[in-house]
Amino acid sequence: MTQEERYQARLRRYTTALRNGKPDMVPIRPFVAEFVAKYAGVSIQAATHDYRVAFEACLRCAGDFDWDAVVPNMIYVWTGLVQAVGLKYYGIPGLDLPANVAFQYKEPPEEHAFMRPDEYDLLIADPTDYLLNVWLPRVSNFIKPPSEKVTVEHNLALLKGGMAMMEYFNALGGLVQELRTRCGTVAAISGMLKAPLDILADKLRGYYGLVSDLHARPEKVLAACEALMPHLFRIALDGADPTKNVPIAFWMHRGCVPFINPEHFRKIYWPTVKPMVEELWKRGHQVLFYAEGNWDYHLEAFRELPPGSIVYHVDKGDIFRVHRVLGDRFCLSGGLPNDLLALGTPEEVRAYCKKLIDGVARDGGYIMDAGAIIQDDAKVENVRAMTEFTREYGQY
Amino acid sequence: MQKDFLVLGHPGVCMTWEEAKAYFPVVQGDESLVREIWERIEYWPWLFIWHILLSF
């Protein structure tokens, strides 16, 4: 079999399952992150700070494991770019952190949030202007606001940051192509979507600030979410797979109960997510709900979406319950506990994979994966057990 | 009633052509061409700031 024939067979298998159909066997699509560095024998610093090292490690894994699809570089933050722009909210392996620790997010205390509570109107009036002229100078060690004198560091940070981003995105396109030609492996996702409310919590107000605002000024939070939507939608659409085969990844953070209450989900989170997903589906793009944590409380809301419009990925949720509620409408993925990959034995991994396949994959519409991204704590023999068992037992 | 998000704001550019025209009060040739190229290049700083927010 040529690599292209292997690629086409895997693409058929993967897309059949994505459409909630029954392929020839259960597809395998692990979201391997720092695991690729461990497997390739390189440091996390090297893979995070030099994306070329991460790409090679990703290709090596894709070549060695019989996986249908992988994310082209799940070590998604190139910290070389982060350092060039001087972003304050990352801990960089080998710089701020030991060389074998994965990059970390640093959320400032509420009183030092990157966006202040009285700045909602500025954000709502023109989100891009606010981000460029108020937010970016605050999150960068080098970039100055328009009211301050520019510096050499300011000029260089903008130039280097812009050029580096262009370099990185161009290189990602090359990795997608190499996955196909060298390994016969499909790039699992294309493009990204985030919820407006998550963005407010992640990078602007911080989680504690956002929760205060949901009670003190909910109308401003809603208006800010509405103002973010056109931009988030455009980013999602522009990064989407032009062939409409693979989904846009929707990274779900802290928009679920108990991080927010049911009313805030119903009145703010969901009304500012659902229309974007529906519009993407109208244009032929499926969205992968990467439900980090446990979103079981909201399954009935997700049922409101058109059949086939999403793929629902399960992390800490009860995948058997998810299958009962959503399985007739959407493909599911994940559900294999990450702690089992890290702390369990190959026998335990095989037993859990059997439970998953028996419980949710018998009629198709399931893709094998861990619950969350696979980092360097996963044992190689356990990832191998997941792969080999699914291939043997997951035949239809 | 929720606003139609597809008609809100100006995603894809930092400075719209309408704002930019203040710097180019007279366009002697084809303004639509000038506008098209302006917006095409404006896309890059817009993409940069939104990906810094979303991806980095």
| pLDDT per position as a tens digit, A252-266 | 999 999 999 999 999
| B48 in contact with A, Cβ within 8 Å | yes
The values of phi and psi at residue A158, to 5°, are -70, -45
Q: Which domain holds residue B36?
A: 29-56
- How many residues in chain B? 56
Establish if B15 belongs to a structural domain: no
Q: Where are the alpha helices (DSSP H) in chain B?
A: 17-20, 31-54
A272/A87 Cα distance (integer angstroms): 28
| B6 in contact with A, Cβ within 8 Å | yes
Judged by DSSP in three states, A374 sits in strand
Establish if B21 belongs to a structural domain: no
Establish if B23 belongs to a structural domain: no
Tokens of A73: 């570089």
**Chain mean pLDDT for chain A:** 97
Cα A55 to the chain's mean position, in Å? 17
AA identity, residue A293: G
Cα B49 to the chain's mean position, in Å? 13
CB under 8 Å to A97, separation ≥6 — which residues? A91, A103, A104
Domain tally, chain B? 1
AA identity, residue A276: M
Are A180 and A186 in contact by the 8 Å Cβ rule? The answer is yes
Residue B17 Cα, gap to closest chain A Cα (Å): 15
Cβ–Cβ gap A234/B12 under 8 Å: yes
Which chain B residues have a beta carbon less than 8 Å from that of A227?
8-9
Establish if B8 belongs to a structural domain: no
Establish if B16 belongs to a structural domain: no
A35/A133 Cα distance (integer angstroms): 38
Q: How confident is the model at residue B7 (pLDDT cuts 50, 70, 90)?
A: confident
| pLDDT per position as a tens digit, A287-342 | 999 999 999 999 999 999 999 999 999 999 999 999 999 999 999 999 999 999 99
Q: Which pTM value belongs to this model?
A: 0.97
Nearest to B49 among A82, A131, A275 (CB): A131
Which chain B residues have a beta carbon less than 8 Å from that of A275?
2, 5
Task: Report ipTM for this prediction.
Answer: 0.96
Establish if B5 belongs to a structural domain: no
| pLDDT per position as a tens digit, A131-157 | 999 999 999 999 999 999 999 999 999
Establish if B56 belongs to a structural domain: yes
pLDDT of residue B3: 66
A198/A4 Cα distance (integer angstroms): 39
| B23 in contact with A, Cβ within 8 Å | no
Are B22 and A55 in contact by the 8 Å Cβ rule? The answer is no
Establish if B42 belongs to a structural domain: yes
Q: Is the pLDDT of residue A55 over 60?
A: yes
Cβ–Cβ gap A162/B45 under 8 Å: yes
